[in-house]
Amino acid sequence: MRILGDVHLAGIGSWLPEAVTTQEAVDRGWYAFADREGSGMRAVRVAGEVPAPEMAVRAGRTALRRAADAAGLTPDDYGALLHAATYHQGPDGWSAPHYVLRHTLDRPLTAAQIGPGCLGMLAALELAAHRLTADPSRDAVLVTSADNFSAPVVDRWNSSKLFLLADGGAAAVVSRRGGFARLLSIGSASAPALEEMHRAGEELFPPGITVGRSLNFEERNAHLRRRWEQGTAAPAVHFGDVVADTVDRVLEEAGTSLEKVTRICHTGYARGALHSIYLAPLDVEPALGTWEFTRDIGHVGAADPFIGLEHLWARGEVGPGDQVVLLAAGPGMEVACAVVEITAGHREQTAHPAHRPTAEEDHR
């Protein structure tokens, strides 16, 4: 979808906890040495008992502060809060988005949780763009995301060979008033034939978490491989083609091409998955993406592309005139992509985005 009106990112923020190195994980017996060598991952962010919605609040406060500086936005200028999450946020029957709303904007706005999975924050960005285009009464939408995979039923080191699950949060202010980047286009596409990839071998009811099942994608992949070995036909769809076709379309809608893109902010996959899902289908080198950053972070659910964008922008690795692709994939299977053009450099003298703020910084 080409963005015809003025839709900008007025502020961006992230909150990441301390790193646990993959070498420590190997030494403690959590992670196999061979898996560490194959993944290329150096560290993962682990939040311990910090709740996911609290991490979203901390990231949201940074984004709101920057949006106020860049576009003069106040809480009364916001029309909604959209919160993306890939794992459980707190008590059943409770609304994490309204917790984030209460501790950030604190206004009687609509607050909703957005999916699906790891592309949820890009889906929220698209919904925010639609809302700003359709409703002129408010000038901004706050988009947040956060996850904490420290739950006892999750083995962050071995739940998938594609990634290491990491904790953290991110936020972005989507605005009509300007900011540091302009949204040029955004879109998504799914491959429903691949829907079973993320549920293979598990019944839909009762939900696995209610009977103590862990989040284990490797078990599901093993189930599928056994079925294929027994003669069941594998899906004819290649997800890499879906990724390439979607990126090409969204770039065309933005009036640009991959050759003109300065950087790609992608999901924090391990080396093999990053290559097969993104780099090879797009025929690009790792240096165009954020691999050297994400290999010290891990896969922070839906927050990855925005954590990467903040990192590049705050460090001056992208500046005015540069075009950046935000890219994520998730269950469904589905891929989402956005193209933004940087319109202003980072002028704040702040800590590195991956730095864990002090308690005083958290509550500024």
How far CA 16 is from CA of 5, 65, 148, 237, 250, in Å, comes to 33, 18, 11, 36, 30
Is residue 361 pLDDT above 50, yes or no? no
Out of 3.30.750.24, 3.40.720.10, 3.30.70.20, 3.40.47.10, select the CATH number for domain 8-191+237-362. Answer: 3.40.47.10
Range(s) within the chain of domains with CATH label 3.40.47.10: 8-191+237-362
Pairing type for strands 323-330 and 261-265 reads: parallel
- Give SS3 for 119: helix
The pLDDT of residue 190 is 94
How far CA 75 is from CA of 104, 106, 113, 318, 353, in Å, comes to 9, 8, 20, 29, 24
What is the Cα–Cα distance from 299 to 167, expressed in whole angstroms? 8
What is the Cα–Cα distance from 278 to 53, expressed in whole angstroms? 29
Residue-wise pLDDT tens digits, 332-346: 899 999 999 999 998
The pLDDT of residue 358 is 37
How far CA 147 is from CA of 171, 192, 245, 314, in Å, comes to 12, 25, 29, 23
Span of 1-5, 70-74, 142-146, 312-316 with lowest mean pLDDT: 1-5
The pLDDT of residue 363 is 37
Q: What is the DSSP letter of 211?
A: G
Do the Cβ atoms of 288 and 263 come closer than 8 Å?
A: yes
What is the Cα–Cα distance from 277 to 149, expressed in whole angstroms? 23
198 or 317, which is more confident? 317
Long-range pairs of 19-27 with CB within 8 A, sequence gap ≥ 24: 19/43, 19/44, 19/45, 19/46, 19/296, 19/297, 20/44, 20/45, 20/46, 22/164, 25/157
Residue-wise pLDDT tens digits, 148-207: 999 999 999 999 999 999 999 999 999 999 999 999 999 999 999 888 888 887 889 998
* CA atoms lying within 13 Å on the CB side of residue 162: 19
Find all residues with CB under 8 Å of 162, minimum gap 6, and list them. 217, 269, 270, 272, 273, 277
Is residue 38 pLDDT above 90, yes or no? yes
Residue 137 — pLDDT band, cuts 50, 70, 90? very high
Residue-wise pLDDT tens digits, 70-126: 999 999 999 999 999 999 999 999 999 999 999 999 999 999 999 879 999 999 999
